Amino acid sequence: MVTAVAQRLAAQRREINDTLARLSLSSENLQQVKDKMRVELERGLRKDSHSTASVKMLPSFVYRTPNGTERGKYLALDLGGTNFRVLVVKIRSGIRKSVRMYNKIYAIPLEIMQGTGEELFDHIVQCISDFLDYMGMKNTRLPLGFTFSFPCRQTGIDKGSLVSWTKGFKATDCEGNDVVEMLREAIKRRNEFDLDIVAVVNDTVGTMMTCAYEDPKCEIGLIAGTGSNVCYMEEMRNIEMVEGDEGQMCVNTEWGGFGENDCIEDIRTRFDREVDEGSLNNGKQRFEKMTSGMYLGEIVRQILIDLTRRGLLFRGHITEPLKTRGIFETKFLSQIERYRVVRAILQQLGLDSTCDDSIIVKEVCGTVSRRAAQLCGAGMAAIVDKIRENRGRNQMNITVGVDGTLYKLHPHFSRILKDTVKALAPQCDVEFVLSEDGSGKGAALITAVAQKQVTLRTLMDIMKRFRRELGNGLCSDTNPTATVKMLPTFVRSIPDGSEKGDFIALDLGGSAFRILRVKVSHEKKQTVQMESQIYDTPEDIIHGSGTRLFDHVAECLGDFMEKQNIKDKKLSVGFTFSFPCAQTKLNESYLLTWTKRFKASGVEGMDIVTLLNKAIKKRGDYDADIMAVVNDTVGTMMTCGFDDQRCEVGIIIGTGTNACYMEELRHIDLVEGDEGRMCINTEWGAFGDDGMLEDIRTEFDREIDRGSLNPGKQLFEKMVSGMYIGELVRLILVKMAKEGFLFEGRITPELLTKGKFETKHVSSIEKSKEGLTKAKDILGRLGMEPSADDCIAVQHICTIVSHRSANLIAATLGGILSRLKDNKGNPRLRTTVGIDGSLYKMHPQYARRLHKTVRRLVPESDVRFLLSESGSSKGAAMVTAVAYRLADHGKRRTVEMHNKIYAIPMEVMQGTGEEVSTFGSFL
């Protein structure tokens, strides 16, 4: 009797062992899984096999892991794991590098997961709405990173169409559609708030980024949770589905689909097939169904049913609970293996068990989870070896960022996973780091990086628009409507070293009015001596009558000549006049329109040489010969050209902004002749006056424009130049204070006063060491009592405004440089840009930012940026010297001879400025 029982028990044991043996994998099995996974990874990457590969290898458009420079405040959604979360993530860079997050978990009811797409996305937006209310952030349009943990075919960082639902989701009308668009539409439907959806991210990618923020060696992301998946940094040259060979991109493997082409049928058991058949996506995600949290409990249940049916368990009774799909959650698996609580849990599930039963159940759980961990390990071994081979290395250290409830809660999963990787990829030293913060942090980091990419894309676009405007301005047909006036200057070459003489230079229109004496002598080598004096230009004069303005200029000039003791000489004068002028020759220059701070009446449309001559004559106490009028950009280019013969661009980033450059005469429709070059004063400050920049102008830009002397004009200038930067910052501060985000909502009358926050303050506040102290001082002088956080925020706002300025100037300068490059037809452009202006000179970060962005926008160039140390007057003197020489040799007329002279109708010359601008094409 006893033997019979013992024999029966032994037979039962054998049966159980046999059953479980089918789920136990040998080293050979695992090696094969690794090899097959490798084959599928390669097939997924290659164009010819991609469509049939079971591992889809989806490009993520994430090109790099975080480097600590990311910053900003972002919203993140995390959909597709156990929990749906909405988060706000604040990232700081630099020495204060840190990430702060707040999140709220929301339920997604089953009927919504499996209802219509519209219902699902409406629900998501409803949760976002609740979250924004809860955080009091409904009115701030934040950038959003969307962790969407399903396979998406991406064509950009913010574009991803759902390949197919996996895990527990099955909402209709989503597969094949762009999830970002669906989210945008749902936000529009709700019509309650707005968000910029900047990035859509798989949870593996988010996890990799989260962990890489702490550990730069992290280049793989693994999820072992509800689903199972991996991403890693692949070489671009291997990703045939995306153009380009340089650098790396993160690939979302979607390894859960491994085996869909039957390549692992040898290790799949009938339990796996049962689970598959009972799932929402029969035949799909076969690897995931053997390895992830959503299915392990189901596999266990199938085995238990089988054992029970064969009388090996639960006394052969298949009870209702046992028949219930999903009853065996993976967390029970973890608990059963972790604690000695099998019976209690079985009881909780309504399964009445004996002591033997609980031993068997525990064994089943152990087998199933062990197999899952080993399979993941084998897959991971394939990945790390691939990365190692990509890099041609014998040995490699690498970190895997991991997340997911299975990995986190199961007592043995992580150990078995690691052991398997070690055994199957001995040449790799793989460290696994648990993601403590979920993938939302990573999604925010990606959003931060993506925003930078968006910036670059936008700048590229603006550069293109500006280049088009350059072309329009040069061409006689399109010039009348072009905003960028492209004014010929009649300056045909940069200084050649032969210039000499004794000249007076006037420099009017920048932050200071200067008069200078410039002596260019030619003893052994060319030397320049300069003496200068600054004169006041009071507001009542620059806003008064033109006659008064020019009388003032003549008076200052008389004073200067007297001080120099040259009142009896008739010196040649070069006049830097920093406003848009239509020139017909070097010394005939009609003001088209005032810009910046100037608004003297009766000058627009007039020749300023005539006006100044008249004022001098009226005095009668000295005589002067105004030989040349130059724009400050031209003066600057010539000043720098004196030191560097390669200089062919001049730019000003000061009170105003503008650029000139040497254009081929054959492209300048407005001047006759095809040989050689002429300097063109672009007057780029007016870029955007036709609405071309409306997409990037903000409410603050519009407010500045409304309050300016020339509304609707110089819109580009008003976004970037020194006259406006401080005011832009002030307007933002006021708005933020009013909304209670700054200064505890307090605003002083000083802060409300136009012009109280100057551009030089922006420069001080952005200084790296003392910037925050400066912020406190400057705000203190405006009667404010800023907290330390306020100061940081103000500094940040300054940075945003000045950075935008540098970026925009980089885009327009990029337009000029790319045009120069095409004009020359060389594959690489070597050139020098002469620069002047207080914003560029005084701002601690400006120059570096500008140079960096220009290099990014025009990569095939070597650009030297040369600061004009001696203002524009030296250059103006050079131009005067040439004019003088030509005049001196009785050839003065030749300056005009090559030019086409256009008539300027009287009514235009003396009409309103506006008419002249519309007629601005008359040259």
Scanning 223-231, 270-278, 332-340, 792-800 for contacts with ligand GLC by CB under 6 A, the matching segment is: 223-231
Yes or no: say if 155 and 140 are a contact pair by the CB < 8 Å rule: no
**Is position 510 an interface residue for ligand GLC (rule: CB under 6 A)?**
yes
CA atoms within 13 A on the CB side of 264: 38
546-564 and 608-619 helices cross at what angle (nearest 10)? 60
Chain center to CA of 646: 33
Burial of 824 (0-12, 13-18, 19+ CB in 10 A): middle
Given the residues 435, 578, 805, 872, select the one marked as catalytic: 578
End-to-end CA distance of the chain: 119
Query: What track of x and - describes contact with ligand BG6 for positions 788 through 827 (by CB under 6 A)?
Result: ----------------------------------------
Burial of 823 (0-12, 13-18, 19+ CB in 10 A): middle
Residue among 832, 518, 797 at smallest CA distance from 644: 832
**Is position 166 an interface residue for ligand GLC (rule: CB under 6 A)?**
yes
The DSSP 8-state label assigned to residue 545 in this structure reads B
d(C-alpha 764, C-alpha 766), whole Å: 5
Among 605, 685, 771, 786, binds ligand GLC (CB under 6 A): 685
Total residues in contact with ligand GLC, by rule CB under 6 A: 38
The contacts of residue 339 (CB under 8 Å, 6+ apart) are none
Locate the DSSP E strands across 324-474: 396-403, 428-434
The DSSP 8-state label assigned to residue 677 in this structure reads E
Scanning 230-238, 370-378, 868-876, 882-890 for contacts with ligand BG6 by CB under 6 A, the matching segment is: 868-876
**Is position 404 an interface residue for ligand BG6 (rule: CB under 6 A)?**
yes
Nearer to ligand GLC, 187 or 400 (CB): 400
CA-CA distances (angstroms) from residue 469 to 43, 462, 669, 692, 859?
Answer: 47, 10, 14, 10, 21
Range 292-321, binding ligand BG6 (CB under 6 A): 293
Q: Which of ligand GLC, ligand BG6, none binds 405 (CB below 5-8 Å, type-dependent)?
A: ligand BG6
Scanning 393-401, 412-420, 649-657, 903-911 for contacts with ligand GLC by CB under 6 A, the matching segment is: 649-657
Among 84, 146, 150, 724, binds ligand GLC (CB under 6 A): 150
Total residues in contact with ligand BG6, by rule CB under 6 A: 36
Range 603-632, binding ligand GLC (CB under 6 A): 631-632
Nearer to ligand BG6, 404 or 815 (CB): 404
Q: How far is the CB of 475 from ligand BG6 (least distance, A)?
A: 29
Q: How far is the CB of 514 from ligand BG6 (least distance, A)?
A: 7
CA atoms within 13 A on the CB side of 598: 29
Q: How far is the CB of 675 from ligand BG6 (least distance, A)?
A: 30
**Is position 872 an interface residue for ligand BG6 (rule: CB under 6 A)?**
yes
Angle at CA 397, nearest 5°, toward 392 and 399? 120
What is the residue-wise DSSP string for 558-597?
HHHHHHHT-TTS-EEEEEEE-S-EEEEETTEEEE----TT
Nearer to ligand GLC, 219 or 717 (CB): 717
Q: Which of ligand GLC, ligand BG6, none binds 658 (CB below 5-8 Å, type-dependent)?
A: ligand GLC
d(C-alpha 864, C-alpha 833), whole Å: 6
Q: Which of ligand BG6, ligand GLC, none binds 633 (CB below 5-8 Å, type-dependent)?
A: ligand GLC
Nearer to ligand GLC, 154 or 166 (CB): 166
Give catalytic status of residue 802 as yes or no.
Answer: no
Given the residues 437, 632, 790, 836, select the one marked as catalytic: 632
Range 624-653, binding ligand BG6 (CB under 6 A): 632, 635, 652
Given the residues 370, 514, 730, 892, select the one marked as catalytic: 514
Scanning 221-229, 379-387, 743-751, 903-911 for contacts with ligand GLC by CB under 6 A, the matching segment is: 221-229
Among 225, 635, 875, 920, binds ligand GLC (CB under 6 A): 225
293-309 and 270-277 helices cross at what angle (nearest 10)? 120
Using only C-alpha atoms, what is the Rg of the chain?
Answer: 37
Q: Which helix (H) or strand (E) holds 875?
A: helix 873-888
User: Burial code of 245-277, b = ≥16 C-beta within 10 A, e = fewer?
Assistant: eeebbbbbbbbbbbbbbebbeebbbebbbbbbe
Scanning 90-98, 509-517, 724-732, 803-811 for contacts with ligand BG6 by CB under 6 A, the matching segment is: 509-517
User: Burial code of 741-752, b = ≥16 C-beta within 10 A, e = fewer?
Assistant: ebbeeebeeebe
Residue with tokens 């604040």: 90
Tokens for 233?
Answer: 């940094």
Yes or no: say if 224 and 292 are a contact pair by the CB < 8 Å rule: yes
Query: What track of x and - describes contact with ligand BG6 for positions 176 through 205 (by CB under 6 A)?
Result: ---------------------------x--
Tokens for 204?
Answer: 């593996």
d(C-alpha 379, C-alpha 229), whole Å: 10
Q: Which helix (H) or strand (E) holds 577?
A: strand 571-577
Give catalytic status of residue 632 as yes or no.
Answer: yes
User: Burial code of 306-329, b = ≥16 C-beta within 10 A, e = fewer?
Assistant: bbbeeebbbeeeeeeebeeeebbb
Q: Which of ligand GLC, ligand BG6, none binds 166 (CB below 5-8 Å, type-dependent)?
A: ligand GLC
Q: How many helices (H) and strands (E) does the chain have?
A: 33, 26
Q: Which of ligand GLC, ligand BG6, none binds 871 (CB below 5-8 Å, type-dependent)?
A: ligand BG6
**Is position 229 an interface residue for ligand GLC (rule: CB under 6 A)?**
yes
Range 431-490, binding ligand BG6 (CB under 6 A): 438-440
Among 334, 405, 420, 633, binds ligand GLC (CB under 6 A): 633
**Is position 81 an interface residue for ligand GLC (rule: CB under 6 A)?**
yes
What is the residue-wise DSSP string for 160-181?
EEE----TT---BT-TTSBHHH
**598 phi/psi in degrees, rounded to 5:** -90, 145
Nearer to ligand BG6, 46 or 519 (CB): 519
**Is position 853 an interface residue for ligand GLC (rule: CB under 6 A)?**
no
Q: Which of ligand GLC, ligand BG6, none binds 439 (CB below 5-8 Å, type-dependent)?
A: ligand BG6
Give catalytic status of residue 830 as yes or no.
Answer: no
Tokens for 643?
Answer: 């030191």
User: Burial code of 131-157, b = ≥16 C-beta within 10 A, e = fewer?
Assistant: bbeebeeeebebbbbbbbbbbbebeeb
Angle at CA 198, nearest 5°, toward 197 and 202? 95
Among 160, 574, 654, 920, binds ligand GLC (CB under 6 A): 654
d(C-alpha 278, C-alpha 244), whole Å: 43
Range 649-688, binding ligand BG6 (CB under 6 A): 652, 654-655
Query: What track of x and - describes contact with ligand GLC for positions 542 through 581 (by CB under 6 A)?
Result: ------------------------------------xxx-
**Is position 871 an interface residue for ligand BG6 (rule: CB under 6 A)?**
yes
- Residue type, position 415, single letter: R
Among 330, 367, 589, 658, binds ligand GLC (CB under 6 A): 658
Among 838, 861, 880, 917, binds ligand BG6 (CB under 6 A): 838
Among 66, 143, 151, 635, binds ligand GLC (CB under 6 A): 151
Q: Which of ligand BG6, ligand GLC, none binds 308 (CB below 5-8 Å, type-dependent)?
A: none
Nearer to ligand GLC, 169 or 560 (CB): 169
Residue among 568, 539, 571 at smallest CA distance from 552: 539
Binding-site ranges for ligand GLC (CB under 6 A): 80-81, 149-151, 166-167, 202-204, 223, 225-229, 254, 256, 288, 509-510, 578-580, 595-596, 631-633, 652, 654-658, 683, 685, 717
Active site residues: 514, 578, 632
Binding-site ranges for ligand BG6 (CB under 6 A): 78, 80-82, 147, 149, 203, 206, 223, 225-226, 293, 403-405, 438-440, 507, 509-511, 576, 578, 632, 635, 652, 654-655, 722, 836-838, 871-873
